Structure 1
Amino acid sequence: MSKSICVITNPKSGTNSNDANAIDRVMAILGDQAQLIETDPESGFEGAVEKALEQGCATIVAAGGDGTIVGISSLLLDKDVTMGVLPLGTFNFFARGLGIPEDPEEAARALLHGEPKKISVGSVNGQIFLNNASLGVYPVILKNREATYKHWGRSRIVAHISMLKTFLQFDRVLKIRIMSEGVEKTIETPLVFVARSSYQLDMFNLEGEDAIKEDNFAVFTAVSQGRYTMLKNVWRLVRRTMKQGRDFDLYKVQELDIDTGRKEELVAFDGEKAKMKTPLEFRMHTDALRILVPKEGA
């Protein structure tokens, strides 16, 4: 008998729960209407999603961190299926932005009583992202963070310490050419941050939420004034006192091309990273993903 809910989990994903039985408790709440599908090294997310579609699942649930969620969501764009989210990662920005509880059992109950909503997503060189994509210092932070996780384990405090260490060592400034809607500009910056999550912006008291609500990107470029200024801006970010013009410049656009003058550039997207050919092409996909969110007022 086919199940109406398929829960896809990535065994390699980080978890925000110390209880190894979190998935078992989730499946108990979802009941007989749900089945669990684990990804395997050979077929990855593609194989798991294909299996769920073959089973005729009306709802496909991504259980894991933001990397797992974006990997599964990219395979469900413009498909006649609803996606659900069970946040089991370190930061869970996407789920938190949708109002989905971080507690696995509460998130499972929210799934059962949720309602579908279409959302827009961004892409860079065809790679989907839900929260943000970036180049410059942030992809290096992710690279160093993975090495730190292997030694100290996954936690938010470890991630923050690794980030600070990277800022202390980072000394590369990008000279980039930005092209958007017929306008071209050349700037020097240590970081380009392309945001699609209003939750993250609100968390750090940054402008740009209006652009995201209008299905645009909020593009931040850090002011290039040396390592000391970068560290000072990290402190301002933590204190929620960043200011446009002084600390960063902000562009609100729906399409964006970035040329770094190199053949490839390391790009971060929703906690993952990959080398991509330049120029980098950022595009919007309007109402491309149908996802379960908690009912208003729940």
Structure 2
Amino acid sequence: MPELSYYVILNANAGTANATGIDATALARLFEARGLLAAIDARKELPLSERIADAMRSEAPTVVAAGGDGTITALAAALVGSDKNLAILPLGTVNALAKDLHVPLEISEAVAALATGETHRIDVGEVNGRIFLHKVVIGLIPGVAAGREYIRGRQDTAAKIGFLRYFFRRLARAKRMAVVIEPGEGERRIERVQAIAVASNSYDEGVGRFFSRQSLDRGTLTLYVLHHFNMRDFLRLTTSMLLGRWRDDEALSVETVNSVTINMRKDLVKVMFDGEVETLRTPLQFAIRPKALSVIVPAEATATVAAA
């Protein structure tokens, strides 16, 4: 009997899973069509942690996250330091890591890419012992992201208009917060800020490049500090991003660090953790774990990812 090659964890509630009709049967057919032996876990009645534990106990060398960024981050946290690889079938709304790794966003093409995919090691970020793959954001943005939950899954115009109103109300009422920033190799300082983001590696400039990373293995964190963010800042910064030259914006400072501690008066703080709103305990202690995660990258993208 041939050995199991892939263990697939399917999140049927991910952003595009229902819209595209992707279920366990459809996925199994896609793998079979490519001659790939896979176990499909679509047990949505079980906690994700139990499903991940079963995947880790399986004989499959590659565990596939068929879902959005939240599913991918949860699975990656278990895979860090193991001998298993992470592969992605993007079924989320943003699909940030899939885009960074040049994984096709069309599911049949993503499955096809697994057949010839190659392993590549990438960095992961860590905050208070928890693994993140993209960024952790503190301040204005988590509040805005929380409002997004009210329209999740809705495409009607009324929902979109309602979210825009919510966004601009939050923007108008937003207050700066005092934070203590202590880089691992730098001086401790206190700043009043609108928001702070800590990212694994750094986001690239370039026309049409919105929060994308060409390199995921530089071994550094990037600290983005948004000092103020009113309507004028929003319009200017958005325009700068469209033109691909946002890093020098007057409202923003950018700093490369290996580690950083961020503290404030609150014992608990809401953050946007790889796209999901969560509550963490302060102080927030960030570090980078260089090349701690093995991922499957499409063969045609390997040279691009490795050379960046």
Q: After TM superposition, is the score higher than 0.5?
A: yes
Residue number in structure 2 paired with 1:43: 47
Deviation at 1:186, TM superposition (A): 1.2
Distance 1:239 1:160, change over 3 A: farther
Residue number in structure 1 paired with 2:167: 166
Structure 1 position 81 matched with structure 2 position 80: no
Please report the RMSD computed on the Cα atoms of aligned residues, expressed in angstroms.
3.0
TM-score (structure 1 length as normaliser)? 0.86
Distance 1:214 1:197, change over 3 A: closer
Indicate which of 132, 138, 159 corresponds to 1:129. 132
Q: Retained in 2: the 8 A contact 1:66–1:94? A: yes
Q: Retained in 1: the 8 A contact 2:204–2:212? A: no
Structure 1 position 270 matched with structure 2 position 271: no
* Matched position secondary structure for 1:215: coil
Structure 1 position 141 matched with structure 2 position 144: yes
CA distance, structure 1, for counterparts of residue 197 and residue 17 of structure 2: 25
CA distance, structure 1, for counterparts of residue 257 and residue 215 of structure 2: 8
Q: For residues 157-216 of structure 1, give each alpha carbon's deviation from its aligned partner in whole angstroms, at most 9, with x where no partner exists.
A: x78983674244231212111001242111111111122265665576689979965211
CA distance, structure 1, for counterparts of residue 206 and residue 262 of structure 2: 26
CA distance, structure 2, for counterparts of residue 268 and residue 220 of structure 1: 14
After the TM superposition, which of the residue ranges 138-147 and 226-235 deviates more from structure 2? 226-235
Deviation at 1:65, TM superposition (A): 0.8
Distance 1:108 1:290, change over 3 A: same
Q: Retained in 2: the 8 A contact 1:260–1:279? A: yes
Residue number in structure 1 paired with 2:305: none
Residue number in structure 2 paired with 1:290: 294
Residue number in structure 2 paired with 1:68: 71
Residue number in structure 1 paired with 2:181: 178
Deviation at 1:94, TM superposition (A): 0.4
Q: For residues 14-58 of structure 1, give each alpha carbon's deviation from its aligned partner in whole angstroms, at most 9, with x where no partner exists.
A: 2167321365443223226111012545532x2112212333111
* Matched position secondary structure for 2:224: strand
Residue number in structure 1 paired with 2:56: 53
Q: What one-letter code is carried by the residue in structure 1 that aligns with 2:37? A: Q
CA distance, structure 1, for counterparts of residue 86 and residue 207 of structure 2: 25
* Matched position secondary structure for 1:266: strand
Q: For residues 68-107 of structure 1, give each alpha carbon's deviation from its aligned partner in whole angstroms, at most 9, with x where no partner exists.
A: 1101111111101111100011111100100100000000
CA distance, structure 2, for counterparts of residue 162 and residue 68 of structure 1: 25
Residue number in structure 2 paired with 1:30: 31
Q: Retained in 2: the 8 A contact 1:167–1:231? A: no
CA distance, structure 2, for counterparts of residue 283 and residue 160 of structure 1: 39
CA distance, structure 2, for counterparts of residue 211 and residue 38 of structure 1: 32
Unpaired runs of 5+ residues, structure 1, are none
CA distance, structure 1, for counterparts of residue 258 and residue 142 of structure 2: 22
CA distance, structure 2, for counterparts of residue 145 and residue 197 of structure 1: 26
Deviation at 1:270, TM superposition (A): 1.2
Deviation at 1:228, TM superposition (A): 3.9
Deviation at 1:231, TM superposition (A): 4.6
The number of residue pairs the alignment matches comes to 294
Residue number in structure 2 paired with 1:92: 95
Distance 1:218 1:245, change over 3 A: same
Residue number in structure 1 paired with 2:13: 12
Distance 1:200 1:73, change over 3 A: farther
Q: Retained in 1: the 8 A contact 2:217–2:290? A: no
After the TM superposition, which of the residue ranges 245-254 and 80-89 deviates more from structure 2? 245-254
Indicate which of 189, 194, 198 corresponds to 1:194. 198
Q: What one-letter code is carried by the residue in structure 1 that aligns with 2:30? A: I
Q: What one-letter code is carried by the residue in structure 2 that aligns with 1:105? A: S
After the TM superposition, which of the residue ranges 99-108 and 219-228 deviates more from structure 2? 219-228
Q: Retained in 1: the 8 A contact 2:102–2:301? A: no
Q: Retained in 2: the 8 A contact 1:118–1:288? A: yes
Indicate which of 82, 104, 107 corresponds to 1:104. 107
Distance 1:297 1:200, change over 3 A: closer
Distance 1:159 1:110, change over 3 A: farther
CA distance, structure 2, for counterparts of residue 297 and residue 275 of structure 1: 36
After the TM superposition, which of the residue ranges 228-237 and 263-272 deviates more from structure 2? 228-237
Q: Retained in 1: the 8 A contact 2:123–2:218? A: no
Residue number in structure 1 paired with 2:306: none
* Matched position secondary structure for 2:15: coil
Identity %: 25
